[in-house]
Amino acid sequence: VQAESLEDRCQVSPYACQRRTPLAHKNQVLTEALETMAEEARFCGSEGRSLAFSRAASVLKSLPWTVRGVKELHFLPCIGEHSRKIIQEVLEDGTSTEVENVRQSERYQTMKHFMKIFGVGVKTASQWYQEGLRTINDLQAHHAKLGKAQQAGLLHYRDLNSPVKRSEAEAIVQVVQKAVDQFLPGASVTLTGGFRRGKPSGHDVDLLITHPVEGQEVGLLSKVISWLDSQDFLLYHSTHRNASQALEDQELSVSMTAMDRLDHCFSIFCLNYPHGSIKGGSRAWEPGYELKDPGDATLWKAVRVDLVVAPYSQFPFALLGWTGSRNFERDLRRFSKHEKKMVLNSHTLYHTEKKIFLSAASEEEIFQHLGLEFMPPEERNA
């Protein structure tokens, strides 16, 4: 007998931004199966199909109960025919043959392997697969043409595929704060992404930088990157500047996508371990850092870091946009557009009928503008 009333079950929203989704949920086996199907669809270039599986998984993640029968699915939004079939198989047999076949397929395994290389996306991975390449060794032997990002990705493959721990993320915050303080005292460094949602580990560290005096942040990112580079903290970096002349054309800025308008940098940090502490060892990372000793790879670790700089007035939008999850963000924008006639991105909220920009001093105010109940980061794990 389930505790939830029929009414509770009918109230599951089709928008992730209206569903509280904690990190730990009760339908792991089902969501893993659906997410494998979503991944496989993405590998095939079928974005729509991928999104459908991904949405179904996201709905199950938000449920405060474990789904035990296929009848329960009738109350839920976003569960398509194919997702229902997969769920039914798993519920009845404990496993889905379709999912197992995908997991065992050479193409899926190879694609997954190649896409774990930083800088490699679906296009490159499937091209390599088509050319008959299967392993990392094949890439090197075949002299596959690699971009700068991919070369760095290959070089640091092991480190970049071992989870980043919270203590390591906090050490990176310290390093970046120290860099920022030299050029712009009073600027803040905020940990966003999965760590802000309460994840104990992640695939990278997402940092958002701002300063309470609007305009002071201009030019900060390049100075910070140059300093970090001069101190041997960077193994790779690629900076993207916002186009400030385009920003003056507000119609244009609305049509642009989110992050493209903020200064940001995709990088790989060299995180150094203090005396005696060794990478992969059981001892936790302790505060304090030193310069890289390139001679001994057990003393440092390559860590992916995303740095974003936002003007103060855009900070709440940037914070909301970079906290994720990706499913949460996608639905927040979909909800804004379809339910509120507003365009939300990582720097503004625009009302398309009133033709005005809505300002906000906090994430809470953005939710208010959208007529949404505030969702704390820990409940955005859609």
Q: Which residues bind Mn ion (CB under 5 A)?
A: 193-194, 202, 204, 206, 306
Based on the shown chain and the rule CB under 6 A, indicate whether residue 193 belongs to the binding site for ligand 8DG. Answer: yes
Structural tokens at position 91: 């519920």
Cα separation, 359 vs 345, in Å, equals 12
Quick check: 322 binds ligand 8DG (CB under 6 A)?
A: yes
Active-site position among 159, 204, 263, 331: 204
Closest distance between ligand 8DG and the C-beta of residue 193, in Å? Answer: 3
Contact pick of 37, 78, 124, 194 for ligand 8DG (by CB under 6 A): 194
User: Does residue 377 belong to the site contacting ligand 8DG (CB under 6 A)?
Assistant: no
Q: Is residue 363 within the footprint of ligand 8DG (CB under 6 A)?
A: no
Which of 311/324 has CB closer to ligand 8DG? 324
CA distances from 202 to 33, 76, 212, 258, 347 (A): 21, 30, 29, 22, 24
CB of 314 to ligand 8DG, least distance (A): 14
List 159, 206, 263, 331, catalytic entry: 206
| Residue closer to Mn ion (CB basis): 199 or 333 | 199
Give the total residue count for the chain. Answer: 382
Please, which contacts does 178-184 make with residues 24 or more away whose CB atoms are closer than 8 Å?
Answer: 179/224, 179/227, 179/228, 179/233, 180/209, 180/220, 180/224, 182/227, 183/220, 183/223, 183/224, 183/227, 184/211, 184/216, 184/217, 184/220
Q: How far is the CB of 71 from ligand 8DG (least distance, A)?
A: 33
Q: Give yes or no: 181 in active site.
A: no
Give the angle subtended at the CA of 107 by the CAs of 106 and 112, to the nearest 5°: 100
Our CB check for Mn ion shows the closer of 170 and 306 to be 306
Respond yes or no: is residue 159 known to be catalytic.
no
Task: Examine residue 306 and tell whether it contacts ligand 8DG (CB under 6 A).
Answer: yes
**Cβ atoms < 10 Å from Cβ of 333:** 18
Provide the 8-state DSSP code for 185. T
Q: How far is the CB of 325 from Mn ion (least distance, A)?
A: 10
Active site residue 204: yes
Three-state secondary structure call for residue 86: helix
**Rounded to the nearest 10 degrees, how much is the dihedral formed by the CA atoms of 189, 193, 196, 197?**
170
Positions in the binding site for ligand 8DG (CB under 6 A): 193-194, 199, 202-204, 206, 258-259, 306, 322, 324-326, 329
Active site residues: 204, 206, 306
